[in-house]
Amino acid sequence: MYIQFWVYFIYDKRLHEKEMVGLTYAMIGTWRMAYEGLAKALTDLQNGGSSNDAVETAIKEVEDYPFFKSVGYGGLPNAQGLVEMDSAFMDGDTFAIGAVAGISDIKNPISVARKLSHEHFNSFLVGTGATQYAMANAFEARNMLTERARKIWAKRLREISEKNLSPYDGHDTVGVISLDQNNSMAVGTSTSGLFMKKPGRTGDSALSGNGFYVDSEIGGAAATGLGEDLMKGCLSYEIVRLMGTGLTPQQACDQAVYPFVDKLKQRYGKAGEFSLVALNNQGEWGIATNVEFTFAVGTEKQETQVYMANPGPQHTTLIKPVSREWLTAYAKRIKAPID
């Protein structure tokens, strides 16, 4: 039995190295908002850049853009008007993880998470401890609340009291997975979390196996949606595990996500919105979602493009490129005046 296993391992290793000859690179990111960051980081990958750098580059781009209202600068605040953010970084070669939850006043949470991934102890910091760590390590401070986000928050407060609306709405995490020409993979996430959340609320984005997971010998996955429900299923870990059994990223996404959504409806009585993206170490990708969901992908063979996914029949996913009209309407919508 021992001998048999060893022989298999040798064989597998050689096969793996053979496949690695065809060096390639690829990135996938959640939502339309990942597009510009991905395009920029893919140029770096093309020039031999690392997955670790590419993930940070792509996510910083999203964090810095003021009109994406669920990540970084311009992100929507909590019930008290403070922008509290969650972010994580994972290196698929070493499994090193860094994460922050409930960090505030810091320009780039993803950079803090990446730096923390180099620590063997104290690599996941929450609340004021996370913010103080970032300040003490000379990360750039910024008031992350834009005037636009403050207006949206104030308007929502009025609607909640006047129309008796549920306060909670919007929870779009940017999650980015990267494969570089050295066959190294990485994943990162960043979000300002649930709009109007209670102070200190965190979701799945900083939680390993839930919001993200990556193993360079297999592939990676990342999640966006209602973190409170996503963490009931460990779906990012499960997708990577399934890819490790030989499934394509699309098969792994379909088989991990849709049965779990059914199970959650049966056992918990309901299921929030879920969208998962996956990329394997051959540059193949997949999606599963129970709601209309946009994402961006770029590979060596395929220029960066925005797609739209929807749940299809019998636990499948329908995917099509978004139209020029959709993109134009999106660009207009995110900058529309707030009354």
Task: Choose among 152, 127, 135, 167: nearest CA to 75.
Answer: 152
Q: Does 312 bind a copy of itself (CB under 8 A)?
A: no
CB atoms within 10 A of CB 324: 8
CB of 124 to a copy of itself, least distance (A): 5
Task: Choose among 277, 270, 213, 223: nearest CA to 244.
Answer: 213
Q: Does 316 bind a copy of itself (CB under 8 A)?
A: no
Name the one range near a copy of itself by CB under 8 A: 18-26, 126-134, 184-192, 290-298: 126-134
118's tokens: 């180099």
Contact call for residues 65 and 149 (beta carbons, < 8 A): no
Rounded distance between C-alpha atoms, residue 208 and residue 280, angstroms: 18
Candidate residues 72, 75, 233, 311; the one interacting with a copy of itself per rule CB under 8 A: 233
Q: Does 246 bind a copy of itself (CB under 8 A)?
A: no
Q: Does 55 bind a copy of itself (CB under 8 A)?
A: no
61's tokens: 């781009």
Q: Does 96 bind a copy of itself (CB under 8 A)?
A: yes
Q: Does 209 bind a copy of itself (CB under 8 A)?
A: yes
Catalytic residue list contains 289: no
- The helix-helix angle for 249-268 and 235-244 (nearest 10°) equals 140
Q: Does 227 bind a copy of itself (CB under 8 A)?
A: yes
Candidate residues 52, 57, 108, 210; the one interacting with a copy of itself per rule CB under 8 A: 210
Candidate residues 93, 273, 284, 300; the one interacting with a copy of itself per rule CB under 8 A: 93
CB contact set of 153 (below 8 Å; sequence gap of 6+): 76, 77, 81, 195, 196
Candidate residues 200, 245, 323, 328; the one interacting with a copy of itself per rule CB under 8 A: 200
Candidate residues 57, 183, 208, 304; the one interacting with a copy of itself per rule CB under 8 A: 208
Q: Does 113 bind a copy of itself (CB under 8 A)?
A: no
Q: Does 178 bind a copy of itself (CB under 8 A)?
A: no
Rounded distance between C-alpha atoms, residue 18 and residue 281, angstroms: 13
Element (H, E) at 45: helix 35-46
**What backbone phi and psi angles, to 5 degrees, belong to 82?**
-100, 135
Q: Does 273 bind a copy of itself (CB under 8 A)?
A: no
Q: Does 94 bind a copy of itself (CB under 8 A)?
A: yes
3-class secondary structure, 306 = strand
Candidate residues 6, 8, 11, 95; the one interacting with a copy of itself per rule CB under 8 A: 95
Q: Does 139 bind a copy of itself (CB under 8 A)?
A: no
Rounded distance between C-alpha atoms, residue 7 and residue 4, angstroms: 5
> Given the rule CB under 8 A, which residues bind a copy of itself?
2, 84, 93-97, 101-102, 119-130, 132-133, 168, 194, 197-203, 207-210, 213, 226-228, 231-234, 237-238, 241, 264, 267-270, 272, 314
